[in-house]
Structure 1
Amino acid sequence: MNRLNCFVFLFCLLFSGTTFALRCGHSLVQPGDYKEEVIDKCGEPDSVESHYERRGNVNRADVSQFNFNGQRRFPSNSFNYGQSNYAEIEVFVEEWIYDFGSLRLRKLLRFENGRLKEIENRGKGRYRR
């Protein structure tokens, strides 16, 4: 039973929200934060790369065959019709790298339109004097 409790604890720890966060001093940076908040907590990044990405978005609006009473609105041989549109949007992406030294992992922070979307580990940091 003790092993099971330990496994459940580690599993919960692995998938808790704060494990996907970055600790800068006494502050915690996590997805959803704005760039200004991250700079206030962690300082300036070691490197910054930025680019635009075009993404497609499909919106579809279907017209149901049934009305609010649950009765058929159209004859049984009719079909659903609807409208769909495809729109491309441009997303401004910035990738920041923080190198906290050889005792910690380097971190890549990915921002989309000014908000932090994800934090990735980038291997061992470099030695600093």
Structure 2
Amino acid sequence: MRLLLSIRLLGLILLPGLAVLPGTGNTAFRCGSSLVDVGDWPVEVEERCGAPDYVATYPTATVPGVGVVGEVEHWYYNPGPHGFIRRLEFRDGKLRSEHSLGYGFSGDSAGDCSPARLQSGVSEFEMVAYCGEPVSRRVTWEAIGRGSDIAGHYRPGTLVPVEEWMYETGKTQFRRIIRMRNGRVTHVETTRKPRGN
């Protein structure tokens, strides 16, 4: 009985402290000496964090006959090899989320487009930093989550945009196709150039 009471008291003492720990529901994050919060306008974020190192924009929804009706912007900040790359996601003119990616990189990593760099999980920002802009891009739509529900009724999948970037591999007969979903590499494919190129 005494042990149970002690555990409950300890829980009541520790519980309020958990609300202020990072990553426990607090949506604000530090950018230099300022705070940035979900819901902030892009101009407010740029005033506090400076201009992003890279911005990627792509569609999130299309309507047949109308075209793109929704877009997402990813802003990347690279603090160098001693800090984590940050990706800020904006939708509808508001900051929606912030993600810390792997360690940043220095400028001497630019141009290192070796196969070892082209792995699943690499961000679109890292792709451009290592390999430059692709020679061609396109967006396709992929259905995820389709199938039957518990009652056996067909459930259509959610369409998500998939970016495909094409890179030339120098004077060889090959090209690389990079597939990305939500700004991260999901697949790398090497294809042969058509004859006559």
- Verify same fold: TM over 0.5: yes
Report the 3-state secondary structure (helix = DSSP H, G, I; strand = E; otherwise coil) of the residue aligned with 2:95.
strand
Q: CA deviation at 1:121?
A: 1.1
* CA deviation profile, 1:62-91 (whole Å, cap 9, x unmatched): xxxxxxxxxxxxxxxxxxxxxxxxxxx822
The alpha-carbon distance between structure 1 residues 52 and 108, as it changes in their structure 2 partners (threshold 3 A), is same
Quote the Cα distance in structure 1 between the aligned partners of 2:37 and 2:62: 24
CA contact (8 A) 1:110 1:119 kept: yes
Moved over 2 A (4+): 1-6, 8-12
**Corresponding residue to 1:26 among 33, 52, 62:** 33
Q: In angstroms, what is the RMSD of aligned CA positions? A: 2.9
**Corresponding residue to 2:77 among 83, 88, 98:** 98
The alpha-carbon distance between structure 1 residues 106 and 55, as it changes in their structure 2 partners (threshold 3 A), is same
Q: CA deviation at 1:10?
A: 6.3
Count, aligned residues: 95
Quote the Cα distance in structure 2 between the aligned partners of 1:106 and 1:23: 13
Report the 3-state secondary structure (helix = DSSP H, G, I; strand = E; otherwise coil) of the residue aligned with 2:76.
strand
* CA deviation profile, 1:94-116 (whole Å, cap 9, x unmatched): 00111112222111100002110
* CA deviation profile, 1:37-75 (whole Å, cap 9, x unmatched): 01100111011000121179xxxxxxxxxxxxxxxxxxx
CA contact (8 A) 2:90 2:97 kept: yes
The alpha-carbon distance between structure 1 residues 3 and 48, as it changes in their structure 2 partners (threshold 3 A), is same
Letter in 2 for 1:45: P
Structure 2: stretches of 5+ with no match in the other structure: 1-5, 109-197
Q: What does residue 94 of structure 2 align with?
A: 115
Q: What does residue 50 of structure 1 align with?
A: 57
Quote the Cα distance in structure 1 between the aligned partners of 2:29 and 2:83: 11
Q: What does residue 44 of structure 2 align with?
A: 37
Larger Cα-atom Rg: 1
**Corresponding residue to 1:15 among 18, 21, 24:** 24
Report the 3-state secondary structure (helix = DSSP H, G, I; strand = E; otherwise coil) of the residue aligned with 2:82.
coil
Compare relative contact order (CA 8 Å, sep 6+) and give the higher one, 1 or 2: 1
Letter in 2 for 1:94: E
Structure 1: stretches of 5+ with no match in the other structure: 57-88
- TM-score normalised by structure 2 residue count: 0.41
Q: CA deviation at 1:26?
A: 1.2
The alpha-carbon distance between structure 1 residues 9 and 128, as it changes in their structure 2 partners (threshold 3 A), is farther
CA contact (8 A) 2:73 2:90 kept: yes
